[in-house]
């Protein structure tokens, strides 16, 4: 039997320490878990024989020697969460798990972040407090889920559910980017082709038309007028476009502008329903994940306000929270706000009645994601030929305007 010193988190999230006589660290972990605590660090007493203590420090996502502050990307956070959940699920203590993460860190920045977190843990801080202590840290959703896992003693399971949530968010973002990449390329090519024709090809043909002496057809006159205007005032058009774009950007960053922009996103003819489903799916998945992790409903709704990514829907969630605080059911408050999809409201009502609200919320989010995928694929499939046809029609009209004077001259010669 050997003596082991340990640090653990009790059910209130406070750090506790002590020593245990056991055959190996695995037995220490098992005995700590039996008391309802979650082990953070286990080491043989000999490791502290020189009276040294683990170094103290705080979490900082800023790398020394580099200007500016660095934070983990969404993809890096998702990968880190999955790896940590798998290692804790396999029985590793948190300190040992971070040692493994440090050893296999893909680059120096990630290693620095993991070392900072481990330093905090060894100083006695809970993992959630360490994550929340940095102004460049993890979002409230993440921190609250981790805190709920620590309090309930199910950190590995909560991290697994959190990693599922982050991975689905990453997949959704990647799908949207992939769906819009090809249409964006087509639009860029069309703009470049039209710009080349108007600024390079047409001006060189204008002298040829003037030498012909005959009256030009109306389409050709219009084309030459547009080309001349662009050639003379192109810089003003670019400057005006830049000023308008900057003004809109600044307006959108104001509270009133952001509200107007988010409301417009939800009311657009074809994209509005998709945007509403995306926001509803994010709300349902976030709320379901938080409730599954043991976060209280009022706190979970507060976190959802920041997670939905739309000011209009955030105001609706805030209204739901106020009514729930006054004793209203979640589904009743959602229906009264009028901002949520009927299917989500009904599924929430069923979940409240059957006591399976978190599972039904996540299932609703999965269904909405499927509808979003189908709609985006359908819209992009229709958008591509529309862009090609519009580009062809525009270029064809330019070519026709160029050829009409030539045909007219040939007729006059004959």
Condensed to tens digits (0 to 9), the pLDDT of residues 180-192 reads 787 788 788 878 8
Overall pTM > 0.85:
no
**Would you state the pLDDT for residue 242?**
92
Q: What local confidence, expressed as pLDDT, does residue 15 receive? A: 67
Rounded Cα distance between 80 and 94, Å, is 13
Angle at 155 between CA 150 and CA 156, to 5 degrees: 170
What's the CA gap between 364 and 285, in Å, rounded? 8
Whole-number pLDDT of residue 346: 92
- Which portions of the chain are predicted below pLDDT 70? 1, 9-15, 24-26, 29-30, 33, 36, 38-71, 134-137, 152, 209-214, 409-414
* Superfamily grouping for domain 173-414: Type II secretion system (T2SS), domain F (1.20.81.30)
Q: What's the pLDDT at 246?
A: 93
Inter-residue contact 374 to 169 (CB < 8 Å): no
Q: Which pLDDT score is estimated for 64?
A: 34
Residue 55 confidence (pLDDT): 33
Residue 113 and residue 116: Cα distance in Å, rounded?
A: 5
Q: What residue has token string 């710009």?
A: 195
Any residues with CB less than 8 A from the CB of 86 and at least 6 apart, and which?
A: 160
Task: Please write the tens of the pLDDT for every residue from 93-119.
Answer: 888 888 888 888 777 777 887 888 888
Contact 127, 144 (CB under 8 A): no
pLDDT at 50: 41
- Cα distances from 370 to residues 173, 289, 347, 358, in angstroms, run 14, 18, 16, 19
Domain residue spans of the chain? 2-48, 173-414
**3-state DSSP assignment of residue 64:** coil
Q: What is the pLDDT of residues 252-310, one digit of tens each?
A: 889 899 899 989 988 888 888 988 998 898 888 888 888 887 778 888 888 888 778 78
How far is 254 from 268, CA to CA, in rounded Å?
Answer: 21
Give the whole-angstrom CA distance, residue 184 versus residue 205.
Answer: 31
């Amino acid at each position: 039997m050997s003596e082991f010193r340990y640090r653990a988190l009790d059910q209130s999230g406070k750090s506790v320490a002590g020593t245990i006589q056991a055959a190996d660290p695995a037995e220490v972990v098992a005995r700590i878990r039996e008391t309802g605590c979650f082990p953070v660090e286990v080491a043989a007493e000999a490791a502290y024989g020189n009276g040294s203590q683990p170094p103290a420090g705080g979490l900082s996502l800023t790398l020394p020697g580099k200007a500016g502050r660095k934070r983990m990307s969404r993809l890096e956070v998702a990968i880190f969460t999955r790896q940590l959940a798998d290692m804790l699920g396999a029985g590793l203590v948190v300190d040992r798990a971070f040692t493994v993460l440090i050893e296999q860190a893909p680059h120096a920045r990630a290693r620095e972040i993991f070392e900072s977190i481990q330093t905090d843990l060894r100083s006695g801080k809970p993992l959630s407090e360490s994550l929340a202590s940095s102004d460049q840290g993890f979002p409230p959703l993440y921190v609250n889920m981790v805190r709920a896992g620590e309090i309930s003693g199910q950190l590995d399971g909560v991290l697994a559910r959190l990693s599922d949530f982050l991975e689905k968010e990453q997949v959704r973002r990647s799908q949207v980017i992939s769906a819009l990449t090809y249409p964006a390329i087509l639009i860029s090519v069309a703009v470049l082709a039209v710009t080349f024709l108007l600024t390079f090809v047409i001006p060189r043909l204008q002298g040829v038309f003037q030498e012909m002496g005959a009256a030009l057809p109306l389409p050709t006159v219009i084309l030459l007028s547009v080309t001349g205007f662009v050639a003379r005032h192109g810089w003003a058009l670019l400057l005006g476009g830049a000023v308008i774009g900057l003004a809109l950007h600044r307006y959108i960053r104001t509270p009133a502008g952001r509200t107007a922009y988010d409301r417009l996103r939800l009311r657009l003819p074809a994209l509005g329903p998709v945007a509403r489903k995306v926001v509803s799916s994010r709300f349902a998945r976030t709320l379901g994940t938080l409730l599954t992790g043991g976060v209280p409903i009022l706190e979970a709704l507060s976190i959802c306000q920041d997670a939905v990514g739309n000011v209009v829907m955030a105001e609706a969630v805030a209204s739901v929270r106020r009514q729930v605080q006054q004793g209203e059911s979640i589904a009743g408050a959602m229906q009264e706000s009028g901002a949520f999809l009927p299917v989500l409201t009904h599924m929430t009502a069923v979940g409240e009645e059957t006591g399976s609200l978190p599972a039904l919320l996540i299932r609703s989010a999965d269904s909405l994601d499927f509808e979003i995928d189908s709609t985006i694929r359908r819209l992009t499939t229709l958008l591509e030929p529309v862009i090609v046809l519009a580009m062809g029609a525009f270029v064809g009209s330019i070519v026709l305007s160029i050829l009409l004077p030539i045909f007219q001259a040939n007729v006059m010669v004959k």
